[in-house]
């Protein structure tokens, strides 16, 4: 069984469409978890991921492994599908500008260092603070800390710049730190 | 500003909190029938051939730049050539160019005479050409015969160049007629001096003059004889040993 993404893609492009199942099995779970963290219901997440895979198959000939890994490329497609889904449903989202002002208010200190240990109570408060973050910031934190993706790949998925995301991430950290200390 | 590595410490509290959130998430697997639904939707989609348009564009851009570079280099070379030619035609030339052109002009009489040897030589003997004249003939012949010089402007430049240099050329070739004429002038001058001289001439001076007169007269006769023989030879007469 072929597990290498590049080889699988070559086979699919050569006409072996069934090989696409392997790609879905390999990346489907991660993709579904990523989208489920963005939307409320699992059904919505499943629809978005399904659309994402169909779009990925349609655009498979445009995939360039020198730009991003296949998983990152899939995440980007899924995130775009999610944005399209939100637009279609006209779900309320936090705009970037509004979000920026919130983060600007959180800029209280340049000291970005964090303690290495915390009590259970502190961890619970931190968890609540993360939940209260805007959706975009939660996605950023998730991709950065949970999926351990480098900022460059996150910037590719979210269609942004890594320098902008680095700055935004620092502000999120400051905000959470302030929440924890109060 | 912090770099991404600075804000991604190995194990601070924020990372620990995020990892705990990840651990709480259920393991996500695709629901049953998900793959089949996707495969059903994609079965009629035809995937286009691998898109190489970007690499083709890059290749085209590189080729265009190469052509531009070559074109610019050729233009610069052309401008330098034209500038060099204009400088020569203005008379401001360096010595090397002058020497080269002088040599070409000096060689031309030989080529012309050799070419004309196959033709009736009466013309050559009757009107021997100096270097200046031969150069002019050569230039006029070029107008008719030299196909390599196609541009009228180029020809005019050549004529101008030669005319500029002609004035500096010495008369290096004396024809037989020229020599004869010089000799006749000398004899007339000698005889005139002898006849109109009012001063008494001593016997020794007279004898010296007589000897000189006879010697010069003999030379003039030999020259006339040589001229006649040469004319006979040119008209198809007997051949001399030289």
pLDDT at residue A101, rounded to an integer: 47
**Among chain B residues, CA nearest to A47:** B34
Residue with tokens 């204009």: B86
Same domain, A81 and A106: no
Report the share of chain B in percent with pLDDT over 70.
37
Interchain CB contact of A18 with B (< 8 Å): yes
Q: What domain count does chain A have? A: 2
Residues on chain B touching A127 (C-beta within 8 angstroms): 17, 20-21
pLDDT at residue A113, rounded to an integer: 67
State how far residue A32 is from chain B, nearest Cα, in angstroms. Answer: 7
Q: Which of A24, A44, A147 is nearest to B30 (CA)?
A: A24
CA distance B11 to B200: 139
Inspect the interface and report whether the beta carbons of B18 and A28 lie closer than 8 Å: no
Same domain, A75 and A14: yes
- Tokens representing residue B91 in the block: 């008379």
Query: What is the tens place of the pLDDT at every residue in A125-162?
Result: 889 999 999 889 999 999 998 888 889 999 999 999 98
First to last CA, chain A: 55
CATH assignment at residue A26: 1.10.1740.10
Q: Which residue range is the domain that position A26 belongs to?
A: 5-89
Residue with tokens 């905000």: A175
What's the 3-state SS for chain B? Answer: CCCCCCCCCCCCHHHHHHHHHHHHCCCCCCCCCHHHHHHHHHCCCCCCCCCCHHHHHHHHHHHHHHHHHHHHHHHHHHHHHHHHHHHHHCCCCCHHHHHHHHHHHHHHHHHHHHHHHCCCCHHHHHCCCCHHHHHHHHHHHHHHHCCCCCCHHHHHHHHHHHHHHHCCCCCCCCCHHHHHHHHHHHHHHHHHHHHHCCCCCCHHHHHHHHHHHHHHHHHHHHHHHHHHHHHHHHCCCCCCCC
List, as ranges, residues 83-122 from A with C-beta within 8 Å of B.
Answer: 112-118, 122
A31 compared with A98, residue with greater pLDDT = A31
Residues on chain B touching A60 (C-beta within 8 angstroms): 47
Same domain, A77 and A124: no
Same domain, A106 and A55: no
Same domain, A135 and A154: yes
Same domain, A100 and A175: yes
- Choose the final residue of a domain: A34, A67, A89: A89
State how far residue B31 is from chain A, nearest Cα, in angstroms. Answer: 8
CA distance A135 to A142: 10
CA distance A154 to A26: 20
Same domain, A53 and A126: no
Same domain, A15 and A74: yes
- Tokens representing residue A138 in the block: 């939660």
pLDDT at residue B21, rounded to an integer: 87
Of A24, A32, A173, the CB nearest to B38: A24
Is ipTM strictly over 0.95? Answer: no
Interchain CB contact of A62 with B (< 8 Å): yes
- Tokens representing residue B147 in the block: 């196909």
Secondary structure (DSSP) of A82-146: HHHHHHHHT-----HHHHHHHHHHH---S-----S---HHHHHHHHHHHHTS-HHHHHHHIIIII
- Choose the final residue of a domain: A89, A113, A137: A89
Same domain, A106 and A39: no
B214: number of Cβ within 10 Å = 10
Inspect the interface and report whether the beta carbons of B28 and A114 lie closer than 8 Å: no
Same domain, A127 and A164: yes
Same domain, A17 and A84: yes
Band of the pLDDT at A120, cuts 50, 70, 90? Answer: confident
Q: Quote the mean pLDDT of chain B.
A: 65
Band of the pLDDT at A92, cuts 50, 70, 90? Answer: low
CATH assignment at residue A130: 1.10.10
Same domain, A49 and A21: yes
Residue with tokens 């013309």: B123
State how far residue B61 is from chain A, nearest Cα, in angstroms. Answer: 20
Q: Among A19-23, A161-165, B47-51, whose mean pLDDT is lowest? A: B47-51
Inspect the interface and report whether the beta carbons of B7 and A33 lie closer than 8 Å: no
Q: Which of A1-10, A30-39, B149-158 has the highest mean pLDDT?
A: A30-39
- Choose the final residue of a domain: A89, A105, A123: A89
């Amino acid at each position: 069984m072929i597990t290498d993404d590049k080889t699988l893609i070559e086979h699919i492009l050569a006409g072996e469409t069934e090989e696409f199942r392997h790609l879905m099995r390999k990346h489907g779970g991660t993709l579904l978890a990523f989208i489920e963290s963005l939307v409320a219901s699992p059904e919505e997440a499943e629809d978005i991921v399904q659309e994402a895979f169909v779009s990925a198959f349609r655009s498979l000939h445009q995939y360039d492994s020198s730009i991003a890994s296949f998983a990152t490329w899939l995440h980007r497609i899924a995130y775009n599908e999610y944005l399209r889904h939100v637009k279609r449903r006209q779900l309320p989202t936090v705009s970037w500008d509004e979000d920026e002002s919130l983060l600007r208010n959180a800029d209280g200190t340049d000291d970005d260092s964090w303690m290495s240990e915390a009590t259970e109570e502190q961890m619970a408060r931190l968890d609540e603070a993360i939940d209260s973050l805007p959706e975009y910031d939660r996605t950023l934190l998730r991709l950065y800390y949970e999926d351990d993706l480098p900022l460059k790949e996150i910037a590719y998925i979210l269609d942004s710049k890594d320098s902008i995301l680095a700055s935004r991430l620092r502000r999120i950290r400051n905000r959470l730190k302030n929440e924890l200390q109060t | 500003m912090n770099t991404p590595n600075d804000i991604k410490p190995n194990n601070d509290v924020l990372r620990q909190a995020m990892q705990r959130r990840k651990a709480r998430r259920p393991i996500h697997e695709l629901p049953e029938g998900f793959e089949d639904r996707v495969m059903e939707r994609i079965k009629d989609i035809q995937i286009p051939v691998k898109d190489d348009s970007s690499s083709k564009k890059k290749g085209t851009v590189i080729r265009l730049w190469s052509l531009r570079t070559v074109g610019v280099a050729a233009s610069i070379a052309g401008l330098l050539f034209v500038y060099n030619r204009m400088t020569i035609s203005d008379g401001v030339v360096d010595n090397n160019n002058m020497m080269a052109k002088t040599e070409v002009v000096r060689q031309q009489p030989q080529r012309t005479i050799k070419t004309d040897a196959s033709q009736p030589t009466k013309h050559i003997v009757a009107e021997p050409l100096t270097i200046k004249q031969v150069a002019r003939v050569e230039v006029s012949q070029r107008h008719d015969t030299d196909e390599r010089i196609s541009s009228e402007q180029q020809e005019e430049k050549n004529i101008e160049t030669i005319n500029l240099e002609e004035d500096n050329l010495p008369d290096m070739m004396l024809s037989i007629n020229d020599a004869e004429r010089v000799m006749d002038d000398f004899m007339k001058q000698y005889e005139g001096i002898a006849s109109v001289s009012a001063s008494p001439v001593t016997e020794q001076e007279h004898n010296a003059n007589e000897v000189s007169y006879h010697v010069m007269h003999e030379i003039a006769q030999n020259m006339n004889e040589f001229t006649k023989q040469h004319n006979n030879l040119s008209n198809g007469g007997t051949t001399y040993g030289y």
